[in-house]
Amino acid sequence: MTDPADKVVLITGASSGIGEATARHLGARGFRLMLGARRVDRLERLADEIRESGGKANWRQLDVTSIDSMRGFVTAAQETYGRVDVIINNAGVMPLSKLEVLKLDEWNRMIDVNIRGVLHGIAAVLPVMQDQKAGQVINLSSIGGHAVSPTAAVYCATKFAVGAISEGLRQEVGGDIRVTVISPGVTESDLADSITDPTAREAMRAFREGAIPAEAIARSIAFAIEQPAAVDVSEIIVRPTASPY
């Protein structure tokens, strides 16, 4: 295994769900962490808990929809730890609804967070990783990046986009920089809380009863990071065994 103590890992959307579970898992494995999200009270508590357990974690407020905020996040990691080895572009929102409901603000928010947020993460780390001639970009897609279902057209479009961006990046920078897509199926988190449409919300409540723990996704992320530098785990799908999709 790569010595985790040498790796600096940035996690966007670390204040809940998969990002939080990944922070706890990687923190316990010795990685040096920079945690980002908007809810700083949660980041501060999480970083304290990781440090109390012997891990290394710092945090900075981050809004992934702002390139300036993302650049500040990456700079904070460089100033704290001297380098950036991995960014996990995890922040995401999923306000599902049928297209006919015309929730344009929510479509735009998904595009801003789920696509622009990932692009901002890439833009902020790429020059650093190219200078280092090493690094890894891990992007959170979804099972919804492989198949579309009603109410999820825009969300799935954002996750298909994450797959396309990741594959393009892999082909362009694959000599030195690893690119990984993690596509979870239904996983315990706060993700469905962003659904405002009552019909979509009710449908999701039943569907999410079969969710797997966020720790399962964290383990797959650790697996991708811990491969040797010449091995790029390009994509992992992790879903409930009983998932029909």
Ligand X SMILES: NC(=O)C1=CN([C@@H]2O[C@H](COP(=O)(O)OP(=O)(O)OC[C@H]3O[C@@H](n4cnc5c(N)ncnc54)[C@H](OP(=O)(O)O)[C@@H]3O)[C@@H](O)[C@H]2O)C=CC1
39 interacts with ligand X by CB under 6 A: yes
126/238 with CB nearer ligand X: 238
Which of 73, 81, 107, 155 is an active site residue?
155
- The number of helix segments (H) and strand segments (E) in the chain equals 8, 7
Alpha carbons 182 and 27: distance in angstroms, whole number: 19
Vertex 120 angle, CA 204 and 101, to 5°: 35
Write the CB contacts of 55 (distance below 8 Å, at least 6 apart in sequence): 27, 28, 30, 31, 33
Binders of ligand L7H2UBRR among residues 82 to 101 (CB under 6 A) are: 94
144 interacts with ligand L7H2UBRR by CB under 6 A: yes
143 interacts with ligand L7H2UBRR by CB under 6 A: yes
Verify whether residue 155 is a known catalytic residue: yes
Among the listed residues 11, 215, 13, the one whose alpha carbon sits nearest the alpha carbon of residue 94: 13
**Shortest separation between residue 52's beta carbon and ligand L7H2UBRR, angstroms:** 32
Binders of ligand X among residues 141 to 170 (CB under 6 A) are: 142
Residue 38 binds which of ligand X, ligand L7H2UBRR, none (CB < 5-8 A, kind-dependent) = ligand X
Two tokens at 39?
Answer: 């809810």
Which residues are tagged catalytic? 155
